[in-house]
Amino acid sequence: MASLPNDPIGSDYVIDQGWSRYNAADHAIWRDLFLRQSAMLPGGACEEFMQGLTGLGVVADEIPKFDDLNAILEPATNWTIVAVPGLVPDDIFFNHLANRRFPATNWIRRRDQMDYLQEPDIFHDVFGHVPILMNPVFADYLQAYGRGGMKALRLGALPLLARLYWYTVEFGLIKTDQGLRIYGAGIVSSRGESRYCLEDGKPARIGFDLSRIMRTRYRIDDFQEVYFVIDNFDQLFDATAPDFTPLYEQVRGFPELAPSDTVPGDSLIKLAR
């Protein structure tokens, strides 16, 4: 369901979700995606994600109404979801995050896109991103990221900061007593990668390291070749709290790394087998 051309789009790109325009086929796509990804969550997704998903009452039955989610999310962490037609300009995106608004696309993919999409749709945005926003520490992290994004734009450092988003918000792993778990939205909403990232011997898994992440390119066309692993969300928040201005300068002085590179100093995490 694409948004209609005459939908009013504000300067903040926010539109009405237009929930009544989803048809039975749209809801069925949601349901099939939901059931498929839910099956891998036990033993795959971290506890914080699971709690968020349950707490929000997101279910397979039908595409959620943003108003219903907000009635739970806003009292929990003071975040709200707003509907947008697709990817929005960087400054608009950061401004939403800095104000604790998560811009979620309102359209759902087609049947022939079940396994792979290049742009976020409502399943990726809502199933992938929103549950973890029920966690207070992650919620604060994403707001701080939005503020940091505005600063990175001024400093011309957006490519460096974007890598942090990629390797945490989208593809982050977390260490738990039960083993590695997923918190990244790009993994949790992806059929193949949710297993691959935890079980496959090929990709590297490296302990969270802010400047290392900022040096590391990423690929958008295939499973990741490297994942960065946090110990907990406090670590993520604390490590990213200082002013990045000097860090950007420092990182610019280091050579970039390919996703497949490892360097001395990487704390490589072995799979328990």
What does the alpha-carbon distance between residue 83 and residue 103 come to, in Å, rounded to a whole number?
6
| Closer by beta carbon to ligand PHE, 120 or else 146 | 146
Q: Is 135 in the site for ligand PHE (CB under 6 A)?
A: no
Partner from Co ion, ligand PHE, none binding residue 171, C-beta < 5-8 Å depending on class: none
Partner from ligand PHE, Co ion, none binding residue 185, C-beta < 5-8 Å depending on class: Co ion
| Closer by beta carbon to ligand PHE, 162 or else 257 | 162
Question: Which residue's C-beta sits nearest to ligand PHE?
Answer: 148
Q: Among 164, 169, 214, 251, which residue interacts with ligand PHE (rule: CB under 6 A)?
A: 164
- Segment contacting ligand PHE by CB under 6 A, of 31-39, 95-103, 223-231, 242-250: 242-250
Q: Is 230 in the site for ligand PHE (CB under 6 A)?
A: no
Question: Which 75-94 positions form the footprint of Co ion (CB under 5 A)?
Answer: none
Q: Is 185 in the site for Co ion (CB under 5 A)?
A: yes
Partner from Co ion, ligand PHE, none binding residue 104, C-beta < 5-8 Å depending on class: none
- Segment contacting ligand PHE by CB under 6 A, of 56-64, 169-177, 236-244, 259-267: 236-244
Residues that bind Co ion (CB under 5 A): 120, 185
